[in-house]
Structure 1
Amino acid sequence: MIRNASLVKFESQVYSAMTEAMRRELEVLIATAPESKRLAFAQEMEGFTELFTRYHSERASGKGAINWMEIHTPRPNQILQYDVLAQPTDNIDAARAMLNKLVVLKLNGGLGTTMGCVGPKSAIEVRSQMTFLDLTVRQIEFLNQTYGCDVPLILMNSFNTTDDTAKIIQKYKSHDVRILTFNQSRYPRFNHESNAPCPNSFDSDKRMWFPPGHGDLYDSFARSGLLQEMLDQGRELMFVSNVDNLGATVDLAILQHILQSASEFVMEVTDKTRADVKGGTLVDHHGCLRLLELAQVPPQHVDEFKSISKFRSFNTNNLWMRLDAVYRVVAERTLELELIVNPKTIPETGEKVVQLETAAGAAIRFFKNGIGLSVPRSRFLPVKGTGDLLLVQSNLYSLSHGAMVLNKNRAVSTLPLIKLGSEFGRVSDYLSRFAQIPDILELDHLTVTGDVNFGSGVTLRGTVIIVATHGQRIDIPNGSILENKIVTGHLRILDH
């Protein structure tokens, strides 16, 4: 026992020395910033230092580790069911009054690199030649025009997306929507072994920096001045969601409920499917709701975390929060969001580095009367890859004022599970392999790998598996109907 205490004390001294060394390195880094940007940069480095200090402190003390025995399924009163919400009023004046208290914030910091695209992910065309951002603007503009209100759209960019986004939003100048932007923080990656920061100057290559997750939105939003500006305008509530979630639209029933309730923070959750087992989930921890991410789960309990028997829902990252409460927790510095340690390797150099990130939903335990809201699956429609793109481009959906509407002829409410191989990974490759998006209204499951191409007028039903072996090619002819079929090798399907 004495030896363990001595070891902990020694590790604490080592980590304290590391923190002091990092502070000295950051002082040198701050001095390289242009004078006009130095204060803001110093504030960002202060935020990074807090995370870095916690990272080493938690490693020394074990404070950040989850005690699995203290984690429980949320109680019924901690998760509100969407279908019990009162229907919104038909009175346009009342709806306008509610909407004028609202701010919509989209998390717009991600690039489209995972889908083989250059620039912000929000600029990828997803439906009817419209991008994620086009659809978002259309949704907000429809609200403003229908109800005669002024719902502002705020974009939280990262240093990776800010320049391109600034150019893109110029085309919305004539639209009936006020678009405001701010940048989340830019933190330095640091070497896994030496703990030395990767950048050596303010202008170091972008690969040396990282945006520290969407949990940074609270401090960055306040630091930008937009939080105070929204409060000064009488705004009360903010709806936050990922820009690539096409289901995250403004819902008047949710808005009405939160404005009339005592909840300062509401997280939308929805039922897990086989595709969602890695998503963060709400748990009860000593009677308080807490967001639990996969990265925080002890290895021996990962299977239990992923199962749908104990944790049946997951975080959609659709978050509603009261602006005065956001102001309070930032001003009082009470937010201590759980760290997500994200190890990376810089491809060009092979250097192993660390990124320290946080999740916006983890803030729920620092707000008063935070609750989960179990919503229909339709409010979670993210496009993370080309399989998701196939869903939203198909006849499963139509567009209504920028919102995706599920085809009423779909017999079941669940969506097909689609798995496309690496040959379909890039958007350009994916598009080249479909002469026309197939009819998938009656599809349950689709797996496609290898050199496979689809003609026009193809219909897929039930479970369809198509596997082209190495060096072979499968062409699905025009007008083909595949129902509960497995196609392998180099087979060709005859025209009907």
Structure 2
Amino acid sequence: MVGRTLVPPLDIPWSEVVFGHQRSPSMEFKELTKKDAQVQLTHELQKLSTTCPQPMRESVQLDFDGFEKLFSRFINESGPSVEWDRIQKLPDAAVTCYSELHPPEGSTIKELLNKLVVVKLNGGLGTSMGCQGPKSIIPVRSELTFLDLTVQQIEHLNKTYGCTVPLVLMNSFNTDEDTQKVIRKYQGFQVKTYTFNQSRYPRINKESLMPIAKTAGNDFDLEAWYPPGHGDFYQSFKNSGLLQEFLNQGKEYVFISNIDNLGATVDLRILSFLLQGDNSSKCEFLMEVTDKTRADVKGGTLIQYEEKLRLLEIAQVPKEHVDDFKSVKTFKIFNTNNLWISLKAMSQILDEGTMDMEVIINHKHLDNGLNIIQLEQAVGAAVKSFNGAVGINVPRSRFLPVKKTDDLLLVMSNLYRLQQGSLVMSPLRMFETTPLVKLGPNHFGRVKEFLRRFASIPDMLELDHLTVSGDVTFGKGVSLKGTVIIIANHGDRIDIPPGAILENKIVSGNLRILDH
């Protein structure tokens, strides 16, 4: 096999050409050279591309080209991407404290905002919270969805300062159709909305490392494809034509964040830091980080490595150093995934082909019993490809993600007030930190079930910690203070009565309130 590349006829599987019928897929693959594995993948992708309609061919080919590059790195890179002993101490100048930033002069705000593009990562579904469709259309506060709140925020900026900040949604094939229907209702708003789709990559069989898809057309099997993480933003943004369009409009920076992070609003101090004074356009990449707590021990962190800032994710950490990585003393900050990036630098790096992000190998088990691999990348991992990259240690209020109903309870409560689409901590809250909330997934994990269990959202202004497990319901006007733990054992039910005040209480056993 060495020195020549075998390309099988279109109708014969590669493994049969090389090995005949006697080997198992795993044995076959282990004996293939890396080069031949890539040849086989190319062949499989060519077969798939012939199954899609002509109008789709160009976009499908762009996706396949991107996937082949990712697969090549996956196949050819061996060993850890970071050697633990070579991690350097972060230089003092690497992370600036938010309190050191200055607000811009009022007369310059319009000019600054007109150089900004806001991008929201909108590829995720609401399945983890028991909802159908895009996560961004789940109501989170006063019947307003993540998307509603985002549009309100940007419209408020545009109206207040007379500027034209556009909103860009990066959708996936899972969310695009539903999102397109929803955004029609914003046509009368003072926000110009753009959308583009991230790539659609084929899931690969864990044993053979070949695509499990049979067709690539409109009738494709959803299980066989995946959106490859937010690291796909850069190339997909360029492929869509929007990167060049915004450069032509004179835009300079893009602010990227997850659409489910309700704290990720446009910040004028950070924008001024990037565009005015000593730093003017020198910083090509700014990552918002915040202090790590015990709830954030798995979050990626900034490190200095080979004289460059890098994002270190837990997946890159050798097993023997995972405890070090989780230590709040060793790594004090974590990445919020709020990123500010120079459009000009992004375009140049993509043109040069020097965008470098680690490959994340995501193992999944499908309902049909198949073990598959998804190859992904993280948008923040590109930090090492940019010059003058810095971190800004921002207040915790800029990191307010809603991943589970635990988070939803917080943002629906009186801990926050709604101001022009932004959630602001109530001044009546005595502490800057938010309470730690843990709701049992069996009874509270799905949004519909969660809402059914609260006659009204409890008063949580003085709450430190709430744990609820089992079949528990809350009456109207309940107040929770200090540490409250409510455990209904299997077969029991606890109804917290209307108007109850629970302060530093443990409630267990069985408490039923019946209508009569």
Whether 1:85 aligns to 2:101 is yes
Q: Which residue of 2 aligns with 1:192?
A: 206
Contact 1:122 1:132 in 2 (8 A): yes
Whether 1:258 aligns to 2:258 is no
Give 1:218's match in structure 2, choosing from 234, 247, 254.
234
Q: Which residue of 2 aligns with 1:386?
A: 405
Q: Which residue of 2 aligns with 1:116?
A: 130
1:269 partner SS:
strand
Give 1:138's match in structure 2, choosing from 149, 152, 157.
152
Which structure 2 segments of 5+ residues have no match? Answer: 1-28
Q: Which residue of 2 aligns with 1:5?
A: none
Deviation for aligned residue 1:493 = 9.1
Q: Which residue of 2 aligns with 1:207?
A: 223
Deviation for aligned residue 1:66 = 2.2
Query: What amino acid sits opposite 1:148 in the alignment?
Result: G
Q: For 1:88 and 1:446, locate their aligned partners in 2 and report how far apart those are by CA, in whole Å.
A: 40
1:449-476 residue CA offsets vs partner (Å, 9 max, x unmatched) = 1000000111111111111000000000
Query: What amino acid sits opposite 2:90 in the alignment?
Result: P
2:247 partner SS:
helix
Superposed, 1:234-249 pairs within 5 Å as 234-249=250-265
Q: For 2:54 and 2:378, locate their aligned partners in 1 and report how far apart those are by CA, in whole Å.
A: 31
Q: For 1:409 and 1:244, locate their aligned partners in 2 and report how far apart those are by CA, in whole Å.
A: 25
Whether 1:471 aligns to 2:496 is no
* CA shift in 2, pair 1:70/1:11, >3 Å: farther
Q: For 1:345 and 1:265, locate their aligned partners in 2 and report how far apart those are by CA, in whole Å.
A: 36
Contact 2:469 2:488 in 1 (8 A): yes
Q: Which residue of 1 aligns with 2:143?
A: 129
Contact 1:451 1:468 in 2 (8 A): yes
Q: Which residue of 2 aligns with 1:460?
A: 480
1:275 partner SS:
helix
Deviation for aligned residue 1:90 = 2.2
1:164-204 residue CA offsets vs partner (Å, 9 max, x unmatched) = 00000000000110000000000000000011201121132
Deviation for aligned residue 1:412 = 1.0
Which structure 1 segments of 5+ residues have no match? Answer: 1-9
Query: What amino acid sits opposite 1:137 in the alignment?
Result: V
Q: Which residue of 1 aligns with 2:4?
A: none
* CA shift in 2, pair 1:410/1:311, >3 Å: same
Q: Which residue of 1 aligns with 2:23?
A: none
Whether 1:323 aligns to 2:343 is yes
1:281-318 residue CA offsets vs partner (Å, 9 max, x unmatched) = 11111221100111111111111111100111100000
Q: For 2:132 and 2:164, locate their aligned partners in 1 and report how far apart those are by CA, in whole Å.
A: 32
Query: What amino acid sits opposite 1:386 in the alignment?
Result: T
1:103 partner SS:
strand
Moved over 3 A (4+): 10-13, 491-494
1:379-429 residue CA offsets vs partner (Å, 9 max, x unmatched) = 000000001000000000010000001011111101100000011000000
Q: Which residue of 2 aligns with 1:374?
A: 393
Contact 1:132 1:246 in 2 (8 A): yes
Q: For 2:124 and 2:381, locate their aligned partners in 1 and report how far apart those are by CA, in whole Å.
A: 20
Deviates more, 1:80-89 or 1:229-238: 80-89
Q: Which residue of 1 aligns with 2:438?
A: 419
Superposed, 1:66-81 pairs within 5 Å as 66-81=82-97
Contact 2:356 2:384 in 1 (8 A): no
Contact 1:247 1:403 in 2 (8 A): yes
1:47-82 residue CA offsets vs partner (Å, 9 max, x unmatched) = 1011111111113xx2x4321111244222100110
- Identity across the alignment (%): 56
Superposed, 1:302-321 pairs within 5 Å as 302-321=322-341
1:74 partner SS:
coil
Contact 2:86 2:305 in 1 (8 A): yes
Query: What amino acid sits opposite 1:232 in the alignment?
Result: N
Query: What amino acid sits opposite 2:424 in the alignment?
Result: V
Q: For 1:232 and 1:43, locate their aligned partners in 2 and report how far apart those are by CA, in whole Å.
A: 23
Give 2:377's match in structure 1, choosing from 347, 352, 358.
358
Query: What amino acid sits opposite 1:200 in the alignment?
Result: K
Normalised TM-score (structure 1): 0.95
Q: For 2:487 and 2:349, locate their aligned partners in 1 and report how far apart those are by CA, in whole Å.
A: 53
Query: What amino acid sits opposite 2:370 in the alignment?
Result: E
Whether 1:395 aligns to 2:411 is no
Q: Give the aligned length.
A: 479
Q: Which residue of 1 aligns with 2:70?
A: 51
1:63-118 residue CA offsets vs partner (Å, 9 max, x unmatched) = x4321111244222100110001122122xx1111111000000000000000000
1:190-239 residue CA offsets vs partner (Å, 9 max, x unmatched) = 00001120112113211100000000000000000000100000000100
Contact 2:81 2:358 in 1 (8 A): no
Q: Which residue of 1 aligns with 2:290?
A: 270
Q: For 2:316 and 2:421, locate their aligned partners in 1 and report how far apart those are by CA, in whole Å.
A: 36
Q: Which residue of 2 aligns with 1:152?
A: 166
Q: For 2:109 and 2:425, locate their aligned partners in 1 and report how far apart those are by CA, in whole Å.
A: 25
Q: For 1:73 and 1:341, locate their aligned partners in 2 and report how far apart those are by CA, in whole Å.
A: 27
Q: For 1:66 and 1:286, locate their aligned partners in 2 and report how far apart those are by CA, in whole Å.
A: 10
Q: For 2:377 and 2:350, locate their aligned partners in 1 and report how far apart those are by CA, in whole Å.
A: 15
* CA shift in 2, pair 1:72/1:464, >3 Å: farther
1:415 partner SS:
coil
Give 2:246's match in structure 1, choosing from 230, 252, 271.
230
Q: For 1:327 and 1:86, locate their aligned partners in 2 and report how far apart those are by CA, in whole Å.
A: 29
2:346 partner SS:
helix
Contact 1:444 1:462 in 2 (8 A): yes
1:220-264 residue CA offsets vs partner (Å, 9 max, x unmatched) = 000000001000000001000000000000011110111132100
Contact 1:109 1:157 in 2 (8 A): yes
Deviation for aligned residue 1:36 = 1.6
1:241 partner SS:
strand
